[in-house]
Amino acid sequence: MKNGVIWQDIDGNDIQAHGGCIIKHGDTYYWYGEHKGADNCPGTTRVDVIGVSCYSSKNLRDWKYEGLALESNKDDPESPLYYKKVLERPKVIYNAKNNNFVLWAHADSADYVFGGIAVAVSDTPTGPFKFLYAKQPNKQDSRDMTIYQDIDGTAYLVHSKDWNKTMNISRLNDDYTETDGFYVSVLIDQEREAPALFYKDGMYYMVSSGCTGWLPNQALFARCEHMLGKWKLIDNPCRGEKMDTTFDGQSTYIFEVDGEFYLMLDHWHPNDLKTSGYSILKIDILEGNNLRVNWADEWKGI
Ligand code: DGJ
């Protein structure tokens, strides 16, 4: 699969799973993302919400379309899932206590003023997920977000707040369906979005982008020895040509395979979002807990 361009599923159709995440359950990987498989609304950089798609694969290369895990609402303008609104960056987490899957996404009004999250649950990874609610977590605005499960099983919503000025790390309840009221604000006034996290050998890492809409900018990684500690922005992890525009991409998720970590990027095409591309790039952890992401022309899977 050529990094930077749109990929195809095993039926030869474009993979519509933007702003997504990849999780493993059993021996299968599931890729969830924004289904943007329609033309942009004329003269805009938006596609009406279709829903959250789900693909499955055993090797991270041959992807089978499993359908919409969560569908938009076509009839009720009051619904948070109404197709004229915004549903972005879906993330799914497995909850061992309830043996179910919980989907979180950035839910917004078409003008991005609402700034909230939507939560849905399913007993199976492919769904359909049952929509629970949408709101502002901890009564604070929330736009780009991810869900991160800590090594002790505690899960967090990590989201840009205060109009993207600051990042919040908000703890979830045991069911992973609600924020439990406890949160810390980190990277205060650093204006980061598109957070993607992982942990390795006593250190937490967060790769994020700057805030330039659909246009690419420089990625930065932050690190901290404690999930709820004093996170510090360190450096651009990317090297080589286009290192200052994240290879013309934007972070969306980090997943692990056999102790190695991989960064998923979106390569947005604002004027034709359905053709936006993907990359998966290996993350190297260098001496001194520094991250390095080199461009690779191809993602071969495992
Ligand atoms: C940047 C975000 O990272 C994307 O998910 C999307 O919300 C765009 N902004 C919209 O301009």
Residue ranges of domains in the chain, CATH in brackets:
18-294 (2.115.10.20)
pTM as predicted: 0.98
Question: What per-residue confidence (pLDDT) applies to 94?
Answer: 98
Question: What separation in Å is there between the alpha carbon of 26 and the centre of ligand 1?
Answer: 32
Q: What are phi and psi of 247, to 5 degrees?
A: 55, 40
Q: What are phi and psi of 256, to 5 degrees?
A: -115, 140
Ligand 1 binding site (Cβ under 6 Å of any ligand atom): 19, 88-89, 144, 193-194, 213-214, 250
- pLDDT tens readout for residues 4-47: 999 999 999 999 999 999 999 999 999 999 999 999 999 999 99
- pLDDT tens readout for residues 264-290: 999 999 999 999 999 999 999 999 999
Burial of 135 (0-12, 13-18, 19+ CB in 10 A): middle
Nearest C-alpha to atom 1 of ligand 1 is from which residue? 213
Indicate the pLDDT class of residue 167, thresholds 50, 70 and 90: very high
Mean pLDDT confidence for 107-127: 98
> In this structure, are strands 238-239 and 290-294 parallel, antiparallel, or unpaired?
parallel
Tell which one of 49, 88, 266, 276 to mutate to probe ligand 1, the residue whose CB is within 8 A of the most ligand atoms: 88
**Residues near 49 by beta carbon (within 8 Å), at least 6 away in sequence:** 72, 81, 82, 83, 84, 85, 86, 87
